[in-house]
Amino acid sequence: MNLEALPKFYAPKSPKLSDDAPATSNDALSVTDVMAAQGMTQNRASFGFSAFLGKLGISITEKEKAIALLSDYALSRCDRVPALRKLSAEIKPKVIRILAVYAFEDYSRSASTTRTCDCCNGEGFIDAEVFSMKTHTPGKNKEFVKMSLHMGVKDIKPSAYEVRRQVREINRVLCHQCKGKKVVSSSCNDCHGRGKAVNRELTAKQGVPVFTDCKRCGGNGYARMPSTEALEAIRLLTDAISLDTWKKSVKKFYDDLIEKFEVEEAWAEEQLRRVTK
């Protein structure tokens, strides 16, 4: 059994409206067996198991636990980075916490992940400058038109006495990025989350569609979170880490934290397979 099969045990199953007999194989795992296996896996690989449950949104508590465990791991190794070692004892834990939070957000991102629209800040509408034509009838002409119509003159054209001018206004319009949904998808715009795209050169040579890894997302199917977002959050706390320092040393440490989540998840899956084989 692998970790990807666990989420279905956290949601009620739909009713089976048929007369088919359920599976009665001896090697089939019951819910009790799965819960026992989960407890053993959590005991052997707590870090990775909590990260996996937090990534799927099954448990917020497990998410916070995974971030806390990564923060402890990062604190024990941050002194290897000169820029982090020079931070004060008060600022350092806060900076490490920010790195751990953003590392988890990058680790848990997928093609189905949604994020708040940056264009409208989650409102669905934006203030846009629009130009419209306004019709204005000067006072004397307006009175002349009314008087003429009152006297029975029907061939007079009010439009001849109207003045049209262009007016600049600020209106609330639908956000063009999220189309009013308030959130946008993290899936790649080229491959739409599949991770594969048509290679036009090979397709033209062979005469049949040839799919290769998407060049925009590297085959992931989604766009990774820019690492500079973590730097911007840190810069709100302290100016000790510049952009050059981030690129030279801190970013490598940040990438290692993301990889730590993946390593721990792989270890948790290995433990789950051992207890369920």
- Does residue 76 carry a pLDDT above 70? yes
What pLDDT was estimated at residue 199? 82
What pLDDT was estimated at residue 251? 93
- Does residue 96 carry a pLDDT above 90? yes
pLDDT tens string 61-75: 999 999 999 999 999
Q: State the average pLDDT over residues 91-105.
A: 94
Beta strands in the chain (DSSP E): 114-116, 125-136, 163-174, 183-185, 196-198, 211-213
pLDDT tens string 248-269: 989 999 999 999 999 999 999 9
What pLDDT was estimated at residue 91? 93
Query: pLDDT band for position 150 (50/70/90)?
Result: low
Residue pair 125/180 in contact (Cβ under 8 Å)? The answer is: yes
Q: State the average pLDDT over residues 152-180.
A: 66
Higher pLDDT, 270 or 8: 270
Query: Where does residue 31 rank: exposed (0-12), middle (13-18), buried (19+ CB within 10 A)?
Result: exposed
* Least confident piece of the model among 58-62, 82-86, 168-172, 225-229: 168-172
Q: What are phi and psi of 185, to 5 degrees?
A: -80, 150
What pLDDT was estimated at residue 95? 94
Does the pTM exceed 0.75? Answer: no
d(CA 276, CA 2): 9
The Cβ-side half-sphere exposure at 188, using a 13 Å CA radius, reads: 19
d(CA 184, CA 104): 19
pLDDT tens string 191-200: 877 788 888 8
* Least confident piece of the model among 60-69, 105-114, 148-157: 148-157
What pLDDT was estimated at residue 227? 87
pLDDT tens string 3-15: 887 777 776 555 5
pLDDT tens string 21-51: 555 555 567 777 888 888 898 889 999 999 9
Q: State the average pLDDT over residues 171-175.
A: 82
What pLDDT was estimated at residue 20? 56
